[in-house]
Amino acid sequence: MAGRAVRIRDNHRKWLTAHFFLLAAGLTAAFLVNRFVTPDVFWAHWVALGWGAVFAVHLGVFARATLATMGGRRSE
């Protein structure tokens, strides 16, 4: 039976994966809108920068939480 820390880590991993796919779809949409609706002004890179920063924070929180739950004593 999985421990509480493992369940929390797995849940967080699922949210991180969903966030990544949302990021990929959103950035694709932003670049397509930028290319076909406003091709004279390049603004999609600012969306990518902001969303990438938020994703990096999420990734950092996940990495810290994952490392905090690893390496403990195992009861067998």
pLDDT score of 7: 82
For residue 32, being part of any structural domain is answered with no
**Domain for residue 51, yes or no?**
yes
Confidence of residue 74 (pLDDT cuts 50, 70, 90): low
Q: Is residue 31 part of a domain?
A: no
What residues make up the domain containing 1? 1-22+42-70
What's the pTM value of the predicted model, to 2 decimals?
0.72
Q: pLDDT digit string (tens) for 18-71? A: 989 999 999 999 999 999 999 999 999 999 999 999 999 988 888 887 766 665
Is pLDDT above 60 for 76? no
Report yes or no on 34 lying in a domain: no
Total domain count, the chain: 1
**pLDDT (0 to 100) of residue 26:** 95
Q: What is the pLDDT of residue 5?
A: 74
Q: Within 10 A of 35 (CB to CB), how many other CB atoms are there?
A: 11
Does residue 30 sit within a domain?
no
Residue 33 included in any domain: no
Residue 29 lies in a domain: no
Does a structural domain hold residue 28?
A: no
Q: How far apart are CA 63 and CA 2, in angstroms?
A: 19
Strand ranges (E), 1-76? none
